[in-house]
Amino acid sequence: MPVNKKLMAQLFKLDGAVADEHDPFASVIESPSPSFNYTFDNTWGLPDGYGLLIGGEPKGGKSILVSAIIGQIHRDDPEGVVIKYNTEMREKAQVTPAQKKLWGIDPSRYVAYEVNEPALIFDPIEKEVPRLIQEGLKIRAVVIDSVNDIQGRRSMNADSVMVQQIGDEAKTLQDGFRRIKGVLRRNNVSLIMTCQIRAEMDVAEQMRGNKIRLAVPWYVKHSAEYFMLVERLRTKAGRTDLEGNEFVDDSTKVDMSGQNKGEGDENAHKIRVTMKDSSLGRPGRQGVFTLDHDKGIVNKHEEVFLLGVGTHVIDTEKQGQFKWGGRQWTGKVSMLNAIRDEKDVYQGILRDCKLLDLNRRKDDFAKTPDEESPAE
């Protein structure tokens, strides 16, 4: 017996009914780093309305990565607005006018608050964000840097730090994120959070190779679709480019011992990002980008080269030869120079790498139950 279409139409009129007439991942938030975007798998970016939790060690690059993402939002979307809650109270020092210029952050479309009281974070997101969007402001993302510095409600009212408030922080965060999750999702506003890491004390997890964990309550993890680990690449590869040049400023070789043995200042280093888990794509992908302390993210052509080789978009079947787009280069340096200097090569290889994942996603979403292979 066929389904009664009129009755089904009544169901779809109820609040919250989900229609599948459009691609939910058609619009995403990216960063300037191609390999960072690659870690999201079949979206190559954070889809509008969904959440990213970034964890890492102190000074590992979390806040810098957030600034890079905000700047990319402003470059990609001339109307995009970002709201940030700097609970660590470092905004004035971390995001100076010079830093905004470096990352491409538009001050007219960016507002940051140095607050860590939960009422000053969750209440405005719940009440003001939807009102402003309804009045025409295009808010693309809300950033909380970091979740760990949001105070618990009971501890704020305690007379002394000696008063223990077991479970206070977890309950406060649970209630706060529960209130804003639906608001952000309905209005297609992405949530970007940072958090600290802790040593993993679970022996079973240690045996699986997990030495650290994201230091947030469970509900915070439920509020994000993507869990990312950010860390400085502390190897020789993290101190040199693909041609073997060290990231050292030779113009400064101060040696206070007077022995003229100064080695110069470090002017850059590499940061590794790992998608530890994901609800919307394949977990485990890694990206590595180069952070220049004065210029931001640089050497992006190296990322494109490694992505092209790793995905076989660049043909390396013959040793020492690199082929793409009907052209051939002899030697890695020659290929790297072409990607760096020729915009069409850079963009073409990156496009081909991206399409491998995006086309796979479209094929998966296009399947109907009748088209899927039967279970063995």
* Pair of tokens at residue 295: 């210029």
Residues 196 and 337 in one domain: no
Residues 6+ apart with CB under 8 A from 333: 243
CATH of the domain at 87: 3.40.50.300
Considering the domain boundaries, does residue 15 fall inside one?
no
365: pLDDT confidence band, cut at 50, 70 and 90?
low
Token readout for 267 is 């002017």
Residue 84: beta bridge partners? 112, 143
Q: Has residue 11 got a pLDDT over 50?
A: yes
CA distance 40 to 44: 5
What is the per-residue pLDDT for 369? Answer: 47
**Residue 369 domain-assigned (yes or no):** no
Q: Which domain holds residue 237?
A: 24-298
User: Helix (H, G, I), strand (E, B), or coil: what is residue 239?
Assistant: helix
- Strands 28-29 and 46-47 turn out to be antiparallel
Q: What is the DSSP letter of 350?
A: H
Query: Is residue 7 a part of any domain in this protein?
Result: no
Residue 268 and residue 331 share a domain: no
**CATH no. for residue 327?**
3.30.250
**pLDDT bracket for residue 367 (50, 70, 90):** low
Q: Is residue 5 part of a domain?
A: no
Which has more confidence, 374 or 365? Answer: 365
Instruction: Please state whether the predicted TM-score (pTM) of the whole model is above 0.75.
Output: yes
C-alpha dihedral sign at 152, 139, 130, 132: positive
255 and 317 together in one domain: no
Q: Provide the number of structural domains found in the chain.
A: 2
Q: What letter does residue 60 receive in the DSSP assignment?
A: S
**Is 102 in the same domain as 88?**
yes
Residue 13 lies in a domain: no
Note whether 349 and 304 are within 8 A (CB). yes
- From the list 45, 53, 3, 2, the residue with the least C-alpha distance to 25 is 45
Question: Average model confidence (pLDDT) for the chain?
Answer: 90
- What's the confidence (pLDDT) of residue 375? 42
CB atoms within 10 A of CB 366: 8
Domain endpoint, select from 249, 280, 298: 298
Residues 194 and 328 in one domain: no
13 Cβ contact list (under 8 Å, min separation 6): none
Residues 293 and 305 in one domain: no
Domain boundary at 298, 313, 334, which?
298
Rg (CA), the chain: 23
3-state secondary structure 285-301: CEEEEEEECCCEEECHH
Mean pLDDT of 217-245: 92
Asked if residues 54 and 228 have their Cβ atoms less than 8 Å apart, the reply is: yes
Query: Helices (DSSP H) in the chain: which residue ranges?
Result: 5-12, 34-38, 62-76, 91-94, 97-103, 122-134, 153-156, 168-186, 203-207, 218-222, 300-310, 332-341, 343-366
**By three-state DSSP, how is residue 246 classified?**
strand
Alpha carbon of residue 362 to chain centroid: 22
Rounded to the nearest 10 degrees, what angle do helices 343-366 and 332-341 cross at? 90
Using one digit for the tens of pLDDT, what is the confidence trace for 138-194? 999 999 999 999 999 888 888 787 777 788 888 999 999 999 999 999 999 999 999
Task: Give per-residue pLDDT as tens, 98-149.
Answer: 999 999 999 999 999 999 999 999 999 999 999 999 999 999 999 999 999 9
282 contact partners, CB below 8 Å, separation of at least 6: 41, 42
Q: How confident is the model at residue 83 (pLDDT cuts 50, 70, 90)?
A: very high
- Residue 187 DSSP class: T
Whether residue 312 is found in the same domain as residue 288: no
CA geometry: angle 90, 91, 95, nearest 5 deg: 120
Q: Any long-range contacts for 89-97 (C-beta under 8 Å, 24+ apart)?
A: 89/114, 89/116, 89/149, 90/63, 90/114, 94/63, 94/67, 95/67
Asked whether the bond before 146 is cis by omega within 30 degrees of 0, the reply is yes
- pLDDT tens figures, 14-25: 887 877 666 778
Let me know whether 132 and 172 are in one domain: yes
Judged against a pLDDT cut of 90, whether residue 325 lies above it is answered with: yes
